Amino acid sequence: METGRAFIPGGRESSQRTYETANSKRTIMWEWIASNHQVMGVLANIAMLLVWIAYLQVFVSSYRRQKRPSILINRGAGSGLEARCLISNMSAEVIYIETLIATVETTEGRWSCPVTELLEGRSDLKLATRQGPLQTGHFVDIGSFQRLIEPVLQRRAGLRGAITSDDLESLVAFEIKVIAVHGSEDLLAGATRRFDLIRSQGQLLLKGHAVGTQQIRSRRKRERLLNDVKVDL
């Protein structure tokens, strides 16, 4: 018995029509591209320009983040008033510590004063001032928190002697502001951190009000730092 492939009427004609239709669509597409190549070129250039603008914006933002000052204020060697106040320079460039402003908050109010100078009448600058350059990646110990708080309380009360434990009972919080010159920038750089004073088992303990140091970034606030420096002149 002889077998063969089934014959489908109109099969070749259908395939031919499909091929001609596809070929016609390709021809139309190429004709459209040829007649609109200038418009497509302009659109491609615009798309490339947008990509480069986005890339430039990312690059500039990254560069500005690397160049902007970063000053950290931390507590070290304890948690009481005898703990040390440490200032670290995490900027990409050297900073010069210009002024330190201490603010004490008590149950009666809030007072501030510069604490840049340590001791008057000393010939050794390292013992007489907290001013000076601070290399990138380095830190400086500006003294104990009690030594930073005492000048503010003395100025508030008009005292000249040492602060007693009774004078510390009304303490609520302590804040230190660092004002520095950063690289070749015209504006001053600054950072501030607040420490809450907590009473535990008859002792005053320092606890950071926030996790990190608050950097003074805005142009308006950085311009105001000059007023703090003038107070310290």
User: Which residue, among 182, 178, 180, has the nearest Cα to 92 in the 3D structure?
Assistant: 182
Each domain of the chain, given as residue ranges in start order, spans 11-66, 69-231
Residue 33 CA to residue 91 CA, distance in Å, equals: 54
Residue 128 CA to residue 117 CA, distance in Å, equals: 6
pLDDT of residue 21: 66
Amino acid letter for position 28: I
pLDDT band, residue 107 (cuts 50/70/90): confident
Tell me the pLDDT tens digit for each residue of 126-144: 556 788 899 998 999 998 8
pLDDT of residue 232: 74
How many other CB atoms sit within 10 Å of the CB of residue 82? 13
Tell me the pLDDT tens digit for each residue of 12-64: 556 666 656 666 767 777 777 777 777 777 888 888 888 888 888 887 777 66
